[in-house]
């Protein structure tokens, strides 16, 4: 599959010396519509990203696992392996950040995508500005986790959050329940961290949105609800009796460490 690459950043001619270029972040695009692939790829390259494009899910899955990008964007309706099947197969082996592109008539698929572990979704038709804002919001969270992990390997140590049977290590993006590892996406981790920081305190959906998304990104209540359902499902996979995330109907969610 051909990969479209954007130009590397270079220091200006007036610089007093060599200036290291920041690492160019890579976005993988998976869509059977080549016109959309071309348009989105060119737009993202103009924003400084490198891009890789794939026209079917089977080809994309192998590439995403063998050589992971920083983030992937999936269309839902594709032949051979659709976006939902691709995400489910990917989540069995990777927590790579994923954004879904959906059409207005695909709302049930959109909700299922979030339940399967997508970090976000964008409805078609969409603006390039919105897409870039969503991408940057998720990548900032990923970079924060990565930088905390690097800091913790040196003299500076980042504390692990212990809440009853939950152990949450922000630096390493590592979570355990009863010493059993639980794999979360970046968005799921941010929501869980916001809840676990203050056990027993009810967090509204808006507060959880603020914790998981930047100010320039707007999502609806259903997005948070879907992520909460996904969190519960993942913890119940290691403990069928898991009930530490409580719902207060009409108010929000809380974490119980009792």
* DSSP codes, the chain: -----PPPP---TT-SS--PPPPPPEEEEE-S-HHHHHHHHHHHHHTT-EEEEESSHHHHHHHHHHS--SEEEEES--SSS-HHHHHHHHHTT----EEEEE-GGGHHHHHHHHHHT-SEEEESS--HHHHHHHHHHHHHHHHHHHHHHHHHTSS--PPPEEETTEEEETTTTEEEETTEE----HHHHHHHHHHHTSTTPPBPHHHHHHHHS-TT----HHHHHHHHHHHHHHHHHH-TT---EEEETTTEEEE---
Domain with CATH 3.40.50.2300 in the chain: 26-126
Q: Closest by alpha carbon to 190, among 160, 145, 154, 146?
A: 145
**pTM over the 0.85 mark:** no
Tell me phi and psi for residue 106, to 5 degrees: -115, 25
Domain with CATH 1.10.10.10 in the chain: 146-255
CATH code for the domain defined by 146-255: 1.10.10.10
pLDDT of amino acid 156: 44
pLDDT of amino acid 21: 54
pLDDT of amino acid 122: 83
- Provide the residue-wise pLDDT of the chain in tens; the chain has 258 residues: 333 433 333 444 444 555 445 678 999 999 999 998 999 999 999 999 999 999 999 999 999 999 999 999 999 888 889 888 999 899 888 888 999 887 756 566 666 767 677 888 888 778 888 899 889 888 887 776 555 555 444 444 457 888 889 998 877 778 899 989 888 887 888 889 889 988 889 998 888 887 776 555 555 667 788 889 889 988 999 999 999 999 998 889 999 976
Torsion angle (degrees, nearest 10) of CA 182, 107, 203, 180: -10
CATH topology for 26-126?
Rossmann fold (3.40.50)
In tens, the pLDDT along 93-107 reads 888 899 988 775 656
Tell me phi and psi for residue 114, to 5 degrees: -65, -40
pLDDT of amino acid 90: 92
pLDDT of amino acid 10: 40
């Amino acid at each position: 599959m051909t990969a479209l690459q954007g130009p590397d950043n270079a220091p200006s001619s007036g610089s007093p010396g060599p200036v290291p270029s920041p690492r160019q972040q890579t976005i993988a695009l998976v869509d059977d519509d080549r016109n959309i692939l071309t348009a989105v790829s060119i737009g993202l390259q103009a924003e400084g990203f490198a891009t890789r494009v794939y026209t079917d899910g089977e080809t994309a899955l192998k590439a995403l696992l063998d050589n992971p990008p920083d983030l992937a964007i999936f269309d839902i309706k594709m032949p051979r392996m659709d976006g939902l099947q691709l995400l489910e197969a990917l989540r069995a082996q990777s927590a790579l950040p994923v954004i879904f592109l959906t059409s207005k008539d695909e709302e049930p698929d959109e909700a299922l995508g979030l339940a399967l572990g997508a970090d976000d979704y964008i409805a078609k038709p969409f603006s390039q500005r919105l897409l870039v804002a969503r991408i940057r919001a998720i990548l900032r969270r990923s970079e924060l986790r990565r930088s905390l992990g690097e800091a913790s390997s040196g003299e500076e140590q980042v504390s692990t959050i212990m809440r009853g049977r939950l152990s949450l290590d922000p630096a390493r993006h590592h979570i355990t329940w009863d010493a059993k590892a639980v794999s979360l996406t970046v968005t799921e981790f941010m929501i869980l961290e916001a809840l676990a920081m203050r056990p027993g305190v009810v967090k509204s959906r808006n507060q959880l949105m603020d914790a998981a998304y930047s100010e320039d990104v707007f999502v609806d209540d259903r997005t948070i609800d879907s992520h909460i359902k996904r969190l519960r499902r993942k913890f119940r996979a290691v403990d069928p009796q898991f009930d530490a995330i409580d719902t207060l109907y009409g108010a929000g969610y809380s974490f119980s460490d009792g």
